[in-house]
Amino acid sequence: MKIRAHLFFLVFAALLPILLFSVTLTALFWHEQRSVALVAAAGATAALLLSIALAWVLGKRIARAVSGLASVARGLATAQPAPPVPTGNVAEINETANAFGETRKQLQARERQLRESEEKFRTLTTHAPVGIFLSDLKGDYYFVNRNWCTVSRMTVEQAKGRGWQRALHPEDRDRVIAEWRAALQHGLPFNSEFRFLQPNGTVTWLQGSAAELRNSHDTVVGYIGTISNITGLKRAEEAMRLSEEKLRRQAQELEQQLIASGRLVSLGEVTASMAHEFNNPLGIVMGFAQDMLSKTDPSSQHYQSLKIIDEETRRCQKIIQELLEFARPKNTDLGRTDIKQIIEKTLTLVSNHLYKQKIEATSVVDSNLPHIYADVQQLEQVLVNLYLNAIDAMPIGGSLNVEAKHQSADASGPMIVISITDTGFGIDDKDLPRIFLPFFSARKRKGLGLGLPICERIIKNHGGRIEVESQSGKGSTFRIFLPLDHRPERLPETDTQPE
């Protein structure tokens, strides 16, 4: 109301001299009295000057108040400090300026709070142990934190929009994009496991999740999400899976061993009661066959039949002997042993078989090979068995190589390694895992399948192991690992330390 009164007074002061001047001119025109006209003109002039002065004073006061109000307004717009508004008689302007000032203080306080909140968010996202991203309603990224960039090896600018999709592994990209779009369309939380493929080829497994981002009016304005590195967890799961497979295979092997053990129990009982019953008749048959062979001319038609009888009775005797050895193994009698001498002796034992099969045998033994503690007879049995298997695998000839060397770099300690390599027909891949199982034979028509299991048990009793490599049609290699530090619990007084 005061502003309107001031304006009314200003207009009245401006119009008053004009009115007086008009009245004066009218008096001069009608009454033609000069003195009266001069007096009126002087009054009009004085009134005009007075109104001009009043208008100047009032205008200056109003302009000062309006200028202060404008300064406050500019301060609100630019968030810069503004000078205080001068007080005057224009109360409404002063009140408005004060209201602007209070508003400005409130906005400055809110601005400080906003800056503090932004700084907290920046600190949180910078040091967060997970990747954080923000997207708009279309699903386009407009913010990713430092951890996200580290995992993806992308910059913030490269990830913006839909650039983040380039970080996805090609095998996962279509699936993850489809899941992301479905979550946006139906307003559902996003949860998925996927991989990032870095430019250097590194693959990282991630757990991604996202949810709606709402403003103060509870309106969805975008989405906020995280990615967590689960590569270690995936590796642990893979290791667990492999361990489960290994345990499953071991369980199957144990089951087969239990089955074999059951057979062995029955076998031991049978062989213990029947060994002598078989050996006695076989001994009689062998005696008569050999006697008749010695008295029969090789050109006789009966000679070949007698020879077959002799060979088959010997084979039966060998089978019974294997059964007895496997069912009731002998104790290991350890003593200082020269591996070179054992190899030379065993090759001599099978030299006739080698000659008949046209097989060339070679041996390579380290000159400084140390002695070990072993059961000589049992090692000879193992080597002869492996030689005969190799000879059977080369019916049309080939080569047999025996090598012995010292190996210090082994997980179980220093070892003597004996390798027997042939150029025979080899072992099928499907049969390799089972060749050391009792009663398994890759050649179904020969033997009981006890030779290799007996060999493996003998080597294990020496603290070693036996391994095999084979390629079907190219040959096989059996490796015997014997530890240097395997000794009997009580050494004979005449023994010395191994060389």
pLDDT band at 47, cuts 50/70/90?
low
Band (pLDDT 50/70/90 cuts) for residue 361 is very high
SS3 284: helix
Residue with the bigger pLDDT between 196 and 276: it is 196
DSSP 3-state of 197: strand
Query: Tell me, what's the pLDDT at 106?
Result: 76
Higher pLDDT, 380 or 280: 380
pLDDT for residue 499: 40
Q: Is the pLDDT of residue 62 over 90?
A: no
Give the residue-averaged pLDDT of 126-140: 88
Instruction: Determine how β-strand 398-407 pairs with β-strand 372-374.
Output: unpaired
Instruction: Using the Cα atoms of residue 242, residue 247, residue 251 and residue 256 in order, give the sign of their dihedral.
Output: positive
Which of 41-45, 142-146, 163-167, 318-322 shows the lowest per-residue confidence on average (mean pLDDT)? 41-45
pLDDT at 97 exceeding the cut of 90: no
The pLDDT, as a whole number, for residue 433 is 85
| 310 within 8 A of 287, measured Cβ to Cβ | no
Q: What is the pLDDT of residues 424-477, one digit of tens each?
A: 989 888 888 888 887 777 665 566 677 888 889 889 988 899 999 998 888 999
- Would you state the CATH architecture of domain 332-483? 2-Layer Sandwich (3.30)
pLDDT in the model for residue 71: 65
How far, in Å, CA of 380 to CA of 371, rounded?
15
Question: Residues 259-269: pLDDT tens digits?
Answer: 766 666 666 66
Q: In this model, does residue 156 exceed pLDDT 80?
A: yes
The whole-model pTM stands at 0.43
Q: What pLDDT score does 75 carry?
A: 61
Please determine, for residue 109, whether its predicted confidence score (pLDDT) is greater than 90.
no
What tens digit of pLDDT does each residue of 296-342 get? 888 888 888 888 888 888 877 777 776 666 666 667 778 889 999 99
DSSP annotation of 299: T
Which residues sit opposite 193 in a β-bridge?
207
The whole-chain average pLDDT of the chain stands at 79
pLDDT at 495: 44
Predicted confidence at residue 482, as pLDDT, reads 92
Q: What is the pLDDT of residue 323?
A: 65
pLDDT, greater one: 68 or 384: 384
Determine the pLDDT at residue 193: 93
Q: Identify the pLDDT of residue 295.
A: 85
Q: Which residues of 79-114 are buried (b: 16+ CB within 10 A; e: fewer)?
A: eeebeebeeeebeebbebbeebbeebeeeeeeeeee
Q: Which residues pair with 477 in a beta bridge?
A: 421, 469
* In contact, 466 and 479? CB cutoff 8 Å: yes
Distance between CA atoms of 180 and 178, rounded to whole angstroms?
5
Averaged pLDDT, 211-221:
88
Among 27-36, 61-70, 99-108, 399-408, whose mean pLDDT is lowest?
27-36
% of the chain at pLDDT higher than 70: 68
User: What CA–CA distances, in Å, run from 192 to 149, 204, 207, 211?
Assistant: 19, 14, 6, 13
pLDDT of residue 1: 46
Percentage of the chain exceeding pLDDT 90? 29
User: Is 497 a residue whose pLDDT tops 50?
Assistant: no
H or E element in which residue 265 lies: helix 231-295
The pLDDT of residue 112: 78
Q: How would residue 165 be classed by pLDDT, with cut points 50, 70 and 90?
A: very high
Sign of CA dihedral 90, 91, 93, 97: positive
Q: Find, among 42, 61, 54, the residue nearest to 15 by Cα.
A: 54
Query: What's the pLDDT band for 87 if we cut at 50, 70, 90?
Result: low
Tokens of 95: 């009140």
Q: What is the pLDDT of residue 321?
A: 72
pLDDT score at 155:
92
pLDDT of residue 78: 59
pLDDT for position 90: 53
Chain centroid offset of residue 379 CA? 46
Give me the CATH code for the 128-229 domain, please: 3.30.450.20
- Tell me: pLDDT of 223 over 90: yes
Residue-level pLDDT at 283 = 79
HSE-CB for 24 with a 13 A CA cutoff? 19
DSSP letters, 142-186, are EEE-HHHHHHHT--HHHHTBTGGGGGB-HHHHHHHHHHHHHHHHH
**Which residues are within 8 A (CB) of 338 and not within 5 positions of it... i.e. 6 or more apart?**
371
CATH 1.10.3470 is right for the domain spanning 236-326? no
Most confident of 149-153, 248-252, 295-299, 439-443: 149-153
Pairing verdict, β 398-407 and 359-365:
parallel
Torsion from C-alpha of 368, 373, 377, 383, nearest 10 degrees:
-50
DSSP-assigned letter for residue 87: P
Residue 67 has pLDDT above 80, yes or no: no
DSSP for 25-86 reads HHHHHHH--HHHHHHHHHHHHHHHHHHHHHHHHHHHHHHHHHHHHHHHHHHHHH----PPPP
Q: State residue 493's pLDDT score.
A: 45
Please report the pLDDT score of residue 288 as a whole number: 84
Amino acid letter at 366?
Answer: D
Local confidence band at 379 (pLDDT 50, 70, 90 cut-offs): very high
Length of the chain: 499
Under 8 Å between Cβ of 425 and 397: no
